[in-house]
């Protein structure tokens, strides 16, 4: 805490009804999101309020004080039926000094989840910080790479609805995949979140491609996304108790890709089947050109010693002599 802040500090007992918790700007210094209020209430109930809340005198609301630090503690005290709490009152600081005070107070106690990091940066931008100043002074404290694209992603997810933001705050949904939902309208966003990130799991690239395919199908078929994926086949994938969420995600990814590119998907299935018939070692991978736009294949060999390398090469040559590669190349025609 700064030396200047200590000069204006007074420890008093404050009635909870005198603290602003509902005005338009009641949360102007609040960085927290997704806190477990039950655990906090249990702690206060058992041992009391260990750290006093920090308040400032309020001049623009009916209540006497605004919260600087300890908003969740004040709410917990109210839910427990308490009428007052111990508080430190600080006056004479401007918004920047208060935000810096709150930032360092939170960093010393708990740190921030992804959503809270976005909230922190937005509050500093709202008081006039430039991106350059944010990058120089605030971003390093949040342990975020000094990259404008990453900062923009943190800021963009703040506009997502509560359930999705809670999932991000709990680290169930990472920032990269969450940012893919930002450009979707509310209805499409809810459907995509449910199918790709909640009931199944897709990685970032799969999710990006699946969302793009769904939006293409929406235009091509003139159907909303919820209608596009309301099928018994998708219901069967999601209700399969033998598959985990990651396996379900992979199946959804392939199914929606097949819906968007039926002829390419047919070729991919044929290609995969032909590769399996070659009976090659797992260290040998055969790939086709993207969307089968070229007529060549790429073979990748991994070997930890000469014997394994020789065996894999011999098996490849055997398949060439037997003509089994011809079927593979015929798929490109």
Question: Taking the alpha carbons of 242, 248, 254, 256 in that order, is the dihedral positive or negative?
Answer: positive
80-139 pLDDT, tens digit each: 999 999 899 988 889 999 999 999 988 887 889 999 999 999 999 999 999 999 999 999
DSSP string of 37-65, one letter each residue: HHHHHHHHHHH--SS-EEEEE-SSSSSSE
Report the chain's mean pLDDT, rounded to a whole number: 88
Reported pTM: 0.78
In the chain, what are the domain boundaries?
1-111, 112-174, 180-260, 266-333
Measured CA to CA, the distance from residue 15 to residue 331 in angstroms comes to 77
**Are 180 and 211 in contact, with CB atoms under 8 Å apart?**
yes
Query: Region 33-58: what's the mean pLDDT?
Result: 81
**What per-residue confidence (pLDDT) applies to 15?**
92
- The first and second tokens of residue 217, run together, are 């199908």
In percent, the amount of the chain with pLDDT more than 90 equals: 51
CB atoms within 10 A of CB 54: 23
What pLDDT does residue 9 have?
66
Largest CA distance in the chain: 90
CA 105 to CA 134: how far, in whole Å?
18
Determine if residue 185 is left, alpha or beta; phi over 0 gives left, psi from -120 to 50 gives alpha, anything else beta.
beta
Residue 5 has pLDDT above 60, yes or no: no
Over residues 223-246, mean pLDDT: 92
pLDDT tens digits, one per residue of 152-189: 999 999 999 989 999 999 999 999 999 999 999 999 99
How far lies 1's CA from each of 98, 102, 106, 245, in Å?
10, 9, 11, 46
Other C-beta atoms lying within 10 Å of the C-beta of residue 89: 19
Select from 211, 199, 204, 206 the least CA-distant residue to 167.
199
For domain 1-111, give the CATH number: 3.90.1530.10
Question: Of 147, 150, 154, 148, which Cα lies nearest the Cα of 31?
Answer: 154
């Amino acid at each position: 805490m700064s030396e200047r802040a200590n000069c204006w500090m007074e420890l008093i007992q404050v009635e909870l009804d005198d603290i602003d918790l509902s005005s338009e700007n009641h949360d102007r210094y609040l960085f927290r999101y997704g806190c477990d209020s039950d655990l906090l209430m249990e702690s206060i109930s058992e041992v009391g309020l260990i750290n006093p809340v920090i308040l400032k005198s309020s001049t623009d609301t009916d209540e006497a004080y605004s919260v600087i630090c300890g908003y969740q503690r004040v709410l917990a005290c109210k839910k427990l039926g308490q009428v007052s709490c111990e508080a430190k009152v600080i006056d004479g600081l401007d918004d920047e000094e208060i935000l810096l005070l709150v930032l360092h107070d939170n960093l010393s106690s708990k740190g921030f989840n992804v959503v809270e990091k976005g909230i922190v940066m937005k509050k500093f931008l709202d008081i006039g910080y430039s991106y350059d100043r944010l990058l120089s002074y605030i971003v390093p404290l949040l342990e975020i790479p000094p990259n404008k694209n990453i900062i923009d992603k943190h800021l963009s997810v703040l506009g997502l609805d509560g359930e999705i933001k809670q999932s991000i705050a709990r680290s169930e949904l990472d920032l990269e995949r969450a940012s893919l939902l930002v450009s979707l309208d509310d209805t499409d966003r809810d459907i995509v979140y449910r199918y790709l990130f909640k009931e199944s799991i897709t990685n970032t690239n799969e999710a990006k491609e699946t969302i793009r395919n769904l939006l293409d199908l929406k235009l091509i078929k003139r159907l909303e996304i919820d209608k596009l994926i309301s099928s018994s086949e998708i219901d069967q994938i999601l209700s399969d108790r033998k598959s985990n969420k990651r396996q379900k995600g992979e199946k959804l990814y392939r199914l929606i890709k097949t819906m968007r590119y039926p002829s390419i998907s047919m070729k991919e299935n044929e290609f995969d089947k032909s590769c399996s018939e070659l009976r090659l070692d797992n260290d040998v991978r055969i790939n086709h050109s993207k969307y089968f736009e070229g007529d060549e294949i790429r073979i990748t060999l991994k070997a930890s010693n000469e014997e394994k390398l020789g065996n894999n090469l011999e098996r490849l040559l055997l398949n060439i002599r037997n003509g089994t590669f011809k079927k593979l190349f015929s798929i490109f025609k």
